[in-house]
Structure 1
Amino acid sequence: MMISVTFTASQNGIIRHKNTIPWENFNELRCDEFTRASCSRLLVLGRHSFEALKIKLECDLLVLSTTKTTSEGSIHFAASLAEAMEIGRAGGYQEMVISGGRQLLIEAMLLADVIYKSTILVEPMGNVYAPTIPTNFQLIWVRNYKGNPSHSYQTYTLDPYTKSKLSSTGLLKL
């Protein structure tokens, strides 16, 4: 199973401010790239990131939580990333997409094959910074979007030769 990480940060590296997303860019969340990167695969979110979402995701969703263990409709829970990976493998998923919070991103980047990053071109105040993308990852795809605020998508992989496997939206073809 391929492991992907996806996250959004401001251009000054902020991902949260007091458990909220410190900007509003609904176009970035509703865009085709975010939907394809997340909802055609098993999406794993930390509990705070799940609670901060301002849109409803219709996909296979696994939330990491040490306090909840019972499924609620289409939302399932796992106590750890290791348990989430077991669930993904048992479910036959080709790819698991893991998104924040910060600690989950750090842990997931150590296991990841690909990183999908969205950068919002604002510089808000915040108290949680995105982790640094490991130096063994290479930037292989970028697309910029004008808007209010503008944003950019980037795809990083461990293997530069995977560029030939990219779709026109920067996602690896499964």
Structure 2
Amino acid sequence: MSLNGVIGHKNQIPWYIPDDLKYFAKITTGHTVIMGRKTYESIIQKLGHPLKGRLSIVLTKKINYEVGEGCFVVESFEEALKISSGEVFVIGGEQIYELALPYADKIYLTIVEGHFDGDVFFPKINKNDWEEICIGKGKYDNIKYSFMKLKRKKFIDINHSRTPEQTAIMKKIEADGVCPFCMENFKKYHTKPIIKEGVWWMLTENFVPYKGTKLHLLIVYKHHAVKLEEIDPKAGTELVELLSWIEKKYNLDGGSLFMRFGETDLTGSSVNHIHLQIIVGEVGRSKESSPLRIKLGYKKAKD
């Protein structure tokens, strides 16, 4: 990918870097590769045959589309995944990358340091969701390039689990590789009913309330976001209205409100997705009563 996001021009790669081709062959050989029809046809045009040593799956809506020996044709990305096994590589083009991105846990990306004309672009990614690792640099024919490996950041932090029940659920979430606070996954893992839902925020009870609380509510941002800058400005008004509704609904004379955002090492959060918590503690006259303390991160926070 060039610095301006180009990955193709007129059905060709706009640059020639031998090490890039060798690296591509090294990491994909022995695995399944998923591609669109145009990418498949460009490979056939250039090599005269499908990629050797790899199971090729071609995604196309064309009826009765014929491919070479050892290749399969599917109509949807989900179907391609069903017939795949082991580590799967998606090799283009642009629309196929867009379909695959939500499923990806790693991206192998060659960054070409230049601006090129092009008609095919790599989809924009949210860098906050990925950890970038440079695994090599080089230069060929005055073109500098870097081999990058992007690893999707974890959606949860089991280190901050507070009960065996929560740990068991979080291990399942980790295995599924999804964000439990994103709306398409929320009900699968959260056992408490949704109390109120708007365009931007959703209100429910915390299914693992802190000890010594008589009310522990959870407010979740309905779109995946980690940093405050990712919150839509229009969501602010709805949040204030929701907080006012909660105060009246539960007849609250007081309580604690806090938001978790950013790195879980710093926040103590078990889920890497913006959310707020409203906590009302049990109030008594007993001398044994203790103040409620919110656990914060213990890795970077202690540095």
TM over 0.5: yes
SS of the aligned residue for 2:125 comes to coil
TM-score normalised to structure 2 length? 0.44
1:85–1:79 Cα change, 3 Å: same
The structure richer in strand per residue is 1
* Residues 1:152 and 2:146 aligned together: yes
* Residues 1:60 and 2:52 aligned together: no
Q: Which moved more, 1:117-126 or 1:38-47?
A: 117-126
1:123–1:107 Cα change, 3 Å: same
The Cα of 1:18 is off from its aligned counterpart by 2.8
SS of the aligned residue for 2:140 comes to coil
Structure 1 residue runs of 4+, over 4 Å off? Answer: 68-71
The amino acid of 2:79's aligned partner reads: E
* Residues 1:111 and 2:103 aligned together: yes
The amino acid of 2:34's aligned partner reads: V
Question: RMSD between aligned alpha carbons?
Answer: 2.0
The amino acid of 1:145's aligned partner reads: G
What's 1:80 paired with?
A: 76
Instruction: Say which of 30, 33, 49 aligns to 1:40.
Output: 30
The Cα of 1:70 is off from its aligned counterpart by 4.8
Conserved? CA contact 1:41–1:97, under 8 Å:
yes
Instruction: Say which of 20, 24, 27 aligns to 1:28.
Output: 20
TM-score normalised to structure 1 length? 0.74
The Cα of 1:156 is off from its aligned counterpart by 0.6
Identity of aligned pairs, percent?
27
Using the alignment, how far apart are the partners of 2:126 and 2:40 within structure 1? 25
Instruction: Say which of 129, 140, 144 aligns to 2:133.
Output: 140
The structure richer in helix per residue is 2
Instruction: Say which of 5, 8, 19 aligns to 1:13.
Output: 5
Using the alignment, how far apart are the partners of 1:51 and 1:11 within structure 2? 26
* Structure 2: runs of 5 or more not aligned: 155-303
Using the alignment, how far apart are the partners of 2:144 and 2:70 within structure 1? 32
The amino acid of 1:14's aligned partner reads: V
Using the alignment, how far apart are the partners of 1:141 and 1:124 within structure 2? 22
The Cα of 1:42 is off from its aligned counterpart by 0.6
Matched pairs, number: 146
Superposed CA deviations along residues 135-158 of structure 1, whole A, max 9, x for unmatched, are: 311113331122123322100111
The amino acid of 1:80's aligned partner reads: S
Q: Which moved more, 1:77-86 or 1:135-144?
A: 135-144
The amino acid of 2:131's aligned partner reads: Q
Conserved? CA contact 2:134–2:146, under 8 Å:
no
The Cα of 1:22 is off from its aligned counterpart by 2.1
The amino acid of 1:86's aligned partner reads: K
The higher relative CO (CA closer than 8 Å, separation ≥ 6) is in 1
